[in-house]
Amino acid sequence: MIPLSIGEIASILGGRLVPAGSAPEVAPSVDVLATVSAEIIDGSVQTDSRLVTDGSLFLALPGEVTDGHLFADAAVAGGAALVVCERELSLPVPQIVVANGVAALAALATEVVARVRAVGNLTVIAITGSNGKTTTKNLLREILSAQAPTVAPQGSFNNHVGAPISMLGITAQTRYLLVEMGASGSGEIARLVAIARPDVAVVLKVGLAHVGEFGGIDAVQAAKSEMVTSLPPSAVAILNADDFRVASMGDVTAARVVTFGLSESAAVRAENIEASATGTTFLAITPSGSAPVSLRILGEHHVLNALAALSVAEELGLDLAATIASLEAVPRAERWRMEVLTPESGVVVINDAYNASPDSTAAALKTLAQIIRPGERSVAVLGEMAELGEYANEEHDRVGRLAVRLNVQKLVVVGHNARHIHNAAGLEGSWDGESVLVKTAEEAYELLQNDLRRGDVVLVKSSKSAGLRFLGDRLGGVTP
């Protein structure tokens, strides 16, 4: 974080400053408050006490599972120099007591981004979409980091806590800030946009991911459109031309609109796409020229993510050859996202079980079907796609039928909540025993250990809650 005095932080948060070791019943003197207020904080901002280092600001947030206040002592032991909390604690470091920790975090991130923007040359790029946010962010991080100091979230820090924490990692030297914006309800993206004020905003897709929480696909579209509705005319909205719900967002933004996709109307598009077990190749066509791209990331669906990244680079005036070189250097989308594992058994495992929606599962199955060569057997190990609400049965049914139509040769369905995949595969009519339903990942592992043979290509796909990413690791020979 940029250097700020404790007094400035207290003012930004609208909180009450409590010096180190103060007794609740004794008001600190003016001199003590002045001395503490002048102390500078320039370390990281953390909500996880395990990530605290010397000089960190620890934000104690109450949560559904646990309460950050219970870990304040651990944070101090780890080196925290300041604690922001919702109730006064007995601590050997200063604390700022606020009414709402999440609101305080947002206020701090808003101020820090505004200050860096005012004194530096900061460009903020924000990304949202039902699928592909993290992959696109990772591609852009590789591109932009090669050009100038860049801050981007690790993993999927994209909610009302993770995104502001990522923003607070900037300094006066930061040239590019990448912000991944997720949401589970209306208003969440709008709040993040108000903090970051993006110069470039990317919308990838409107799909059924988390649709159960939103209440319908129209509500998902409305939530994702919050990315562009408040953009000023000076900003750029980069929209997926192949998704009509995303493309229509051009009608609700004052920003200049740039499109990407496979459509001939897209400003940045791809032709001659070829997918294999070693990656995906295509011809990128951009306003500044055309060039071949060889992604090491597996799956044709990641071409759209690469096109989105190319679109951002184009708007930033970056060299096309350098941009493509950075794209081609990315070895994988992310841990547990189309991650190719090659154990000594000779089986190829595609571990894509960090997240799953109907769209991403269909894309993963299509990739499996595309990369199979003669003599190889395709195996899909599928678990629940969570947070689909009333759409759950229908969408799991669709996945089962799709697996059959794509001629996936063996299907292992894991867990009661995914049973409609298995049932639909059997009802599709062309299968007899190729689909197996098991209760647990352990049962699936035992079944597959006895059944898999050299040359098999195995896709493991589920939502994170189903836990199949660990099954994928075991099948792929990854040691915990």
Binding residues for ATP: 129-135
Would you say 273 and 296 are in contact if contact means Cβ atoms under 8 Å apart?
no
Would you say 345 and 365 are in contact if contact means Cβ atoms under 8 Å apart?
no
For tokens 């590789």, the residue is 142
CB-neighbour burial class of residue 244 (10 A; exposed 0-12, middle 13-18, buried 19+): exposed
- Which pairing describes strands 268-276 and 279-286: parallel, antiparallel, or unpaired? antiparallel
> Where does 120-241 have alpha helices with state H?
133-145, 162-167, 188-196, 211-214, 217-229
- Which pairing describes strands 4-5 and 40-41: parallel, antiparallel, or unpaired? antiparallel
Would you say 339 and 354 are in contact if contact means Cβ atoms under 8 Å apart?
no
Cα–Cα distance measured from residue 290 to residue 333, given in angstroms and rounded to the nearest whole number: 24
Would you say 156 and 138 are in contact if contact means Cβ atoms under 8 Å apart?
no
Taking the C-alpha atoms of 28, 29, 33 and 36 in order, what is their torsion angle to the nearest 10 degrees?
Answer: -80
Cα–Cα distance measured from residue 207 to residue 131, given in angstroms and rounded to the nearest whole number: 7
Token pair for 22:
């103060």
Nearest to 109 by CA among 163, 56, 40: 163
Sign of CA dihedral 63, 64, 65, 67: positive
- Which pairing describes strands 123-128 and 150-151: parallel, antiparallel, or unpaired? unpaired
Detail the residues annotated as belonging to a binding site: 129-135
